[in-house]
Amino acid sequence: MVRWLWLSLLLGVGLLLGSAPSHAQTLRIPKVGDPALSVNMPAGWSSNYDQYGNLQFSSSDRSVNLQLSILTGSLAGAPILDTLNATAASIFKASGAQPYSKSEPGALAGQLGVTYYSTLTTDNVTLNMKVVLAELDSSHVACMTIITRQEAALAQLLALNKLIGVVQLAK
């Protein structure tokens, strides 16, 4: 599950490079079912659902990319922090990124979770990679992955923060 998620992220980043900007609209991940996240997408971003149902966004200059996913599977048994740490390690490994170098408390759509940091080098370009994981219920984890170029402009990073701020639990 984790491997296709990150392979699709990398493929989606390439697909987003050719995507047309979307107009202000509410998008949902997953499109059907609960729990779900919704996003009132700000202007200036491109969006795309990949072949696995992940929701991907790209800034207008393509220096900032974000993917939202809902991971499914039983969370019973191990402590949730152990499960999130193992999931993050698998995500970074499957994407070809370095193991995470730092983790800290985080949140996604108002749900407490953990934020993990790493870097990914592709075509001799080093990218910053951040993964936020938050437990939604006993079998669902919300996942937000952010990949940014190290030289991303302040305006794009501010727009990213605005986008993150409009991600919420769907009602």
The Cα 15–Cα 26 span in angstroms is 21
Triad 161, 9, 78: Cα angle to 5°:
85
Q: What is the pLDDT of residue 119?
A: 97
The Cα 21–Cα 19 span in angstroms is 6
Mean pLDDT by 10 residues, the chain (171 residues): 48 43 76 94 89 93 95 86 95 96 97 97 95 95 96 92 94 76
Length of the chain: 171
Relative to beta strand 102-108, strand 111-122 is: antiparallel
Q: What is the pLDDT of residue 37?
A: 97
> Which residue ranges form the domains of the chain, and what is each CATH number?
2-169 (3.40.1000.10)
Q: What is the pLDDT of residue 12?
A: 46
> Which pTM does this prediction carry?
0.86
Triad 142, 143, 146: Cα angle to 5°:
150
Q: 12 CB contacts (<8 Å, ≥6 apart)?
A: 48, 50, 54, 56, 65, 67
Q: What is the pLDDT of residue 14?
A: 45
Query: Cβ distance 91 to 3 under 8 Å?
Result: no
In the block, tokens 């170098």 appear at: 101
Query: Cβ distance 71 to 143 under 8 Å?
Result: yes
The Cα 98–Cα 16 span in angstroms is 23
